[in-house]
Structure formats: structure tokens, C-alpha cells
Structure 1
């Protein structure tokens, strides 16, 4: 391999922010690392996204304890990726919630994803010895479900395919705030290696139709206020569609994966090169865009071995 993945050399600890996005609602962010969300109800707390390890989850819990001593009763996982789910055991929650499709993806590719991400992102898996195994939901839903944290209503919904086939969003109607997982990012590259480019823009439109006052995105700063929300949705759409259009043009003429890589770089580097994890995401995004443009609706499973082979091919 000519050089390591960008993420393998990223060992710098990130600054944590804990931002109120609505009354009793918080976004845990860390300079482009995976975000978590916090919803405080009358008697208990819901966590959105568990982090990659129990060690990282404890950092979320430390922030929660600065604002409430209520017990954590629910953990909602917006999709199946290891960096989002493997810290779930730290919260001691009664319920762990995923969509039916996300659970099926744990069955199909959960261990492979863990192995792949562990290789790609060593910093996020510091303390991995404390992970008890794959995270399994106690509760699943098909299209939507509602949880009441006392009087506080929380709607958990699948609004369409985007970052994965099983993405969930969490809507808190009393504050008009949404937790979107990796469907929406802020000044951070979208990871599209398991994505559905042709559906993503419509799913963003479904999110926008709620007219959220604030959004806690999957990565990047909390989006407080309608203007910041709208800008992040536009930028996420531009990132996804710019990536796909460039790769699809190459695929349509029978070009190679390496040619698609060059085309995506030419289209996206001028606009997005300074985004967090851009270099890490790019090879996986190009590979998936190239596959989808050639008719592969279901993303191929990433394995540690496939990661390295793809990267070697792109390095020429």
C-alpha cells in the first residue's frame, strides 16, 4: 500500500462541545468525530448514538451529568456502523432502539464493519477491550415509533435511505428539533461507503419538510436556528450529489474506478477539501458511487481486506 488511510494517522484528541439545541436537548460534538445527542424527559434520559466504545460513551455520560442526574433509560441508534453503536453497554439503558433494517444490517455485516472501522480509525477504538460484542437492539420499528419520556414525546422515524438503508431520525415536536444521524453533516464530509446516492437528496427534503428549528447532525457543530439548518442541508446535498455526478459520468462511459476517483477529486476538492474526515471518506465514497452508477443498489460489504485492496487500486 502506497500510504495509510488518512484516518489511521489521525491520533489528535478532539475538543468536545456540549451544546443546547432546545430546552432539555443537547448535542455532544467533537470537531468532526461522531456526535451523540441527549434528550431529557420528565423522569429519564434518551441518548442518540452510543459512540464507538464504552470509554467514549463515558465522555457523553460525563456531559449528561453536568445537566441532569436522571437515569438513562433509552439509547437510539440511527444506523448500524460500529463507531455509532459499540459503546452502548456503558449507558445501562433499558431499551436500545434501531430500525428493523438497521438490525438486519448488524446481522448481515456488523462484524465485518467493526473489523473494517477498527483498522481505519484506531483513535476512536482506544479502549476497545471494554466492548462486550456486537450491539443488538431490544426494540425495533419499521417506519416509525413514538417514545414518551414522561410527558415528552419523541418520534423515531425512517424518512428514506441515505447514509445507509436503515437510517433513523429522531424528532422532538415540543421543541421542533431533529437528530439526523449521518444523513446531515456540518462542515464534515459525508461517509457514503454504505450510502444510497439516488435517494439521499429526497431524504434530505423529507427532513427539511419538518422545518426544524435546530438539528443535531451526525458530525460537526450543532445547527442552531433555521438559517444554519438550511445551509447544512444544502451543503450536505451538494456534497453527495457532486460526488455521485462525477463518478456516474465516468461509469457511464465505461471508465475505471481510478478515473472515477480523479473525476470526483476534480469536482469536490475545490469545495470540500477542508471538511473534517474528507480524505478518509473519499475513497469509500468514490467506490460506492461508482458501484451505484453501474447498477449495484445494495452496497457491497466492506471488510478489512476489501478496504486495503480498494486503496491499493486507487493508489495505482
Structure 2
């Protein structure tokens, strides 16, 4: 393939014929002929330029915690941002914390508390990277989400390769949504507005209390979610004031299976893999649940999980 050797010589890690099921939390995904792992902005731009000149469709992925992927030979390449600009967070000594998009949210929660910074403990219960979290406004409850703490996000515009920054209010956050989802961009880094744990005689007490709260986040996730089975987390945007899991219980669909995809018996808002689930099994279950909820409740469910197929709207060109 023209240009691949040049990219490799530039120090870019390239993997060939990679099975995405070995990366995704749902354990779904066929084979892509190329997966790139850029480590800095220059490498990222080189890869994007190559995909455009080669007319290759591509998708941006990270930890792949929130995606179900089609099987077979996939007609796109992957730019994996999990190793991008992987440096420790930078604290300005006052209120602002700068974090690269590839930093894992769970790791950031621990880093903050170890550095006497409070505010992001809720991230301990969320898998995935900071960039993905900003993209989908990850969080638990009101006041425990990206929207509450984010100052701004820096991104690469794929249309002209320019770097820009958007402020929190410009991102139009709502539940599991940011304006970034409608833009042709790659998130590079972001900044958070946080507070230091006061340096007084109660400091040790406060730090231990925050650590206890983080452990409680972990226990809550472990007790309420089927974390031992392949899944992509909550499947649908909650149709407030309704609860998808509750509706599925009313319809006696808990445990229902299509192929290897099952409506979780532990948390019906999840689709889990119980027998070598494929992306197609997952897609079929999503459609089935949408149909049943529409028939019985006249509600249109919107997936918050990324459903990645050949030739769909998630692909870049």
C-alpha cells in the first residue's frame, strides 16, 4: 500500500489485519486491514492525510468501551487514539487541570485524589478515555458529569487540519450528547475546573473520605452492573421519566436472547454477550428492544452505544 512504509518510518505504530473483537468491551468486531496508533499531532495529521489521499474510510476509536462492531472483513481502517500524547495531567497549581484525550477516566480519578485534587472521583466508576467521555458527556448523575467540570476541549478539525478550542457552553451538552458528535473532529485534550483539598489539619481526613466515596462508586458499579460479561454499558438514552430496564421487566424480556446477545438478568438496561456474541447479534437485539418498546409504550428509543457497521454515518472519509 502506497505510503504505509513512509508512515512506519515516521515512527507510527501500525498493525495489520487486526480483529476488533480483541479490543472492544463487547468482544465484537471483524477484521480491519490497518490500525494506526498515533502518538502526537504530527503523526495524527500524517495518518489523516494518508487516508484522504488513499480514499480510505476510517473511524476514530480509543478504549472501545461504548461500541458494538460488525463482523467479517470491515471496509475501513482504524485510528486508535489510546496511545496519543500519553502524558500525565498538568495542574496549574490553582484551579485548572489539563488532560490528554487518551488518559483513562478511572486512572484520572485516582491521579486526582493522589495529588489532593477533588471533583472527579465519579470517574472511577466509568471505563474509557477522557476524550470519549467528553464526546458523549459521560457521567452518573447531575453534577457528576463532564458538563459540570469541563472548561474547554481542544480538537483537530479533519476538514482543514487546524486545531481549535471550544468552551463548555459552546458544546451544547445534554444527556450523552455534545456538539462534537456532529463535527468532523478528533478530540486532543481538555481542561477541567477543579479544587484542591485544603491544606489544613483536616486534609488527611478529607482525602480518606474522598477515597471512600470512590470505593463506593466502584462497589455500586460492581453490584448493579454485569461487569463480568461483555457489554457496552447502558444501551439507550433514558426516555425520561421512563426506565428502559423497568419496561423490559414489565414485558418479561429479562434474559431474552438473540444469538449470543442477552438482555442482562442483572441490569436489563444492558445487552451482554453470553455465547460469543457478534456485532450482528447486538444490532438485532437493539432493533428488537426498540420495536417492543414502540409497540407497547409508543416510545422511540435512541441508542447511546455506537453501532459501528460498514458504510455508516460514523465513518470518516
Based on CA coordinates, which of the two structures has the bigger radius of gyration?
2
TM over 0.5: no
TM-score (norm 1): 0.31
TM-score (norm 2): 0.31
